[in-house]
Amino acid sequence: MRSLYGKFIAMTAAIMVVSGLIAFLAVNTYYHQYLKGQNDEKNMTMAKSVASFIQANEGVDLEEYLTTQSAVGYKLYVVNEQQEKTLYGDKFRVENLSERAVNQVLNGDVYHGMRDLPSETFVTGFFSDESANTVGVPFDYKGETYALFLRPDIKMLFTEVHYILGGMVLVMAVISLLSMLMVAKKLIDPITALTVATKKVGEEQFTGTLAINRKDEIGQLAKSFQHMTEKLGENDRIRKEFISDVSHDFQSPLLNIKGYAQLLLDDELPQESRKSYASVIQSETERLSSLTKQLLLLTSLDQLSSPLERKPFDLDEQLKETVRKYRWLLEEKEMSLAMDIDEVRYTGDPAFLEKVWENLVLNALKYTEMGGSIDILLTAQENDVTVMVRDTGIGIDEKDLVRIFDRFYRADDSRTQQTGGTGLGLSIVQQVVKLHGGTIDVVSHKGEGTTFTVQLPKL
Give the pLDDT score at 304: 52
Give the pLDDT score at 300: 63
H, E, C per residue of the chain: CCCHHHHHHHHHHHHHHHHHHHHHHHHHHHHHHHHHHHHHHHHHHHHHHHHHHHHHCCCCCHHHHHHHHHHCCEEEEEEECCCCEEEECCCCCECCCCHHHHHHHHCCCCEEHHHHCCCECCECCCCCCECCCCEEEEEEECCEEEEEEEEECHHHHCCHHHHHHHHHHHHHHHHHHHHHHHHHHHHHHHHHHHHHHHHHHHCCCCCCCCCCCCCCHHHHHHHHHHHHHHHHHHHHHHHHHHHHHHHHHHHHHHHHHHHHHHHHCCCCCCHHHHHHHHHHHHHHHHHHHHHHHHHHHHHHHHHCCCCCCCEEEEHHHHHHHHHHHCHHHHHHCCCEEEEEECCCEEEECHHHHHHHHHHHHHHHHHCCCCCCEEEEEEEECCCEEEEEEEECCCCCCHHHHCCCCCCCCCCCHHHHHHHCCCCCHHHHHHHHHHHCCCEEEEEEECCCEEEEEEEEECC
- The CATH number given to 311-457 is 3.30.565.10
pLDDT in tens, the chain (459 residues): 456 667 777 777 788 788 877 877 777 777 677 777 888 899 999 999 999 999 888 788 999 999 998 888 899 999 999 999 999 988 888 889 999 999 999 999 999 988 887 765 544 556 678 899 999 999 999 889 999 999 988 776 665 555 666 677 788 878 877 877 787 777 777 777 777 878 877 777 777 677 777 777 777 777 887 888 877 777 777 677 666 666 666 776 788 888 888 888 888 888 888 888 888 888 778 777 767 776 676 666 665 555 678 899 999 999 999 888 888 888 888 899 999 999 999 999 898 898 899 889 988 998 899 999 999 999 999 899 999 999 999 888 888 887 787 766 666 543 444 444 556 778 888 888 988 899 999 999 888 899 999 999 987
Residue 396's CB is within 10 A of a number of other CB atoms, namely 20
Give the pLDDT score at 2: 56
One of 1.10.3470, 3.40.5, 3.30.70, 3.30.450 is the CATH number of 4-158, namely 3.30.450
Give the pLDDT score at 122: 46
Domain chopping of the chain, boundaries: 4-158, 311-457
